[in-house]
């Protein structure tokens, strides 16, 4: 019997200064794993340094971390996937514990929740944004993660191969989290150390631009996954506005039996019609979403749980010996 195959996935963009240290760190703790570095149009020597460090280097020409993750998940075959950034900020020594947790509890994702010791490792704006986004997800989907933006995650094969990556940029971690929450997949978090970037390595994350994109992604995913609530809210706002405009008309009609302001009456009628259309759109889309969710769930169930194949193999060996 052999253990599960492990792939370490490292998306990179201009990480010449840090990629060799990152590769060496993961090779030291998971020597049997296959390390893949996916370069995203780097203009420095990231590719050459990664190859010299012994990693398998592949390139993704479409710019954006989401595009890189889409390519990695499609191309790489393994039983367990360890994904981290190539900037040496994540603690490679924690990888065996993350993998062991995934296998022992047959989980589909284990998130390395970042614990930063140095102030320069994690900007205050990012800490606040992380907490705010985590709270929004908890309200929208009933539960959340303490660090939804962590790029340090371990996945099962069935998670990776059933996850339709749609994001283009840094909002990919939000999409991954929402996918796990929406399908109610078994997940866990383990606190891991988070280090400051080494000299020569710079962050590519823009606090405001990427924060806006992440908020937009959450709103879009909520519209897609919770259409009844989303369009019901729009219908409620339109209906409330219609009632507010209609109140004086009703009072005038009760007093005089006349409707003097026809444009307002027509506007109220239009608002009520739009509210009804939004409500019915939400109900129809909810049926479509349920069908899509069933398809995703069936695709997910075509793969065994992590560690289950080893358990079956052990049982088969034990039975043949008996």
Domain ranges of the chain: 6-219, 227-301
Percent of all residues in the chain with a pLDDT value above 90, rounded to a whole number: 46
Dihedral of the alpha carbons of 49, 55, 60, 61, in degrees to the nearest 10: 20
CATH of the domain spanning 6-219: 3.90.550.10
What is the pLDDT at residue 20? 94
Predicted confidence (pLDDT) per residue in 290-316, tens digit: 888 888 888 888 888 886 655 554 444
Q: How far apart are CA 207 and CA 85, in angstroms?
A: 17
- Pairing mode, if any, of strands 80-83 and 187-194? unpaired
Identify the band that residue 8 occupies on the pLDDT scale cut at 50, 70 and 90.
very high
Specify whether the CB–CB gap between 143 and 120 falls below 8 A: no
Q: Does the pLDDT at position 182 exceed 90? A: no
What is the pLDDT at residue 320? 43
**What average pLDDT is seen over the chain?**
84
DSSP 90: B
Identify the band that residue 152 occupies on the pLDDT scale cut at 50, 70 and 90.
very high
Q: Does the pLDDT at position 160 exceed 50? A: yes
Q: What is the mean pLDDT of residues 56-66?
A: 92
Q: How far apart are CA 15 and CA 199, in angstroms?
A: 11
């Amino acid at each position: 019997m052999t253990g599960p195959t492990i792939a370490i996935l490292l998306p990179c963009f201009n990480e010449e200064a840090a990629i060799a240290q990152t590769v060496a760190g993961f090779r030291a703790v998971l020597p049997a794993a296959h390390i893949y570095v996916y370069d995203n149009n780097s203009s420095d020597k990231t590719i050459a340094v990664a190859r010299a460090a012994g990693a398998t280097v592949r390139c993704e020409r479409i710019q954006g971390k989401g595009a890189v993750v889409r390519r990695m998940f499609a191309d790489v075959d393994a039983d367990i996937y360890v994904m981290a950034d190539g900037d040496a900020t994540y603690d490679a020594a924690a990888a065996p514990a993350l993998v062991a947790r995934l296998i022992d509890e047959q989980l589909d994702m284990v998130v390395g929740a970042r614990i930063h010791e140095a102030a320069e490792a994690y900007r205050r704006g990012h800490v606040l944004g992380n907490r705010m986004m985590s709270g929004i997800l908890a309200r929208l989907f009933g539960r959340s993660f303490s660090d939804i933006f962590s790029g340090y995650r371990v996945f099962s094969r069935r998670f990776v191969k059933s996850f339709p990556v749609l994001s283009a940029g840094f909002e990919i971690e939000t999409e991954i989290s929402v996918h796990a929450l929406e399908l109610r997949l078994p997940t866990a978090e383990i606190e891991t150390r988070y280090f400051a970037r080494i000299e020569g390595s710079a962050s590519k994350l823009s606090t405001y631009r990427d924060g806006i994109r992440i908020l937009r992604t959450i709103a879009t995913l909520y519209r897609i996954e919770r259409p009844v609530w989303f369009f019901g809210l729009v219908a409620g706002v339109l209906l409330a506005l219609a009632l507010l405009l209609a109140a004086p008309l009703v009072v005038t009609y009760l007093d005089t039996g006349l409707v003097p302001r026809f444009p307002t009456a027509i506007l109220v009628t239009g608002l009520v019609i739009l509210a009804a259309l939004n409500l019915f759109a939400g109900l129809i889309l909810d049926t479509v979403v349920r069908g899509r969710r069933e398809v995703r769930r069936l695709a997910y169930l075509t793969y065994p749980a992590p560690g289950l194949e080893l358990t079956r193999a052990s049982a088969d060996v034990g039975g043949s010996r008996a």
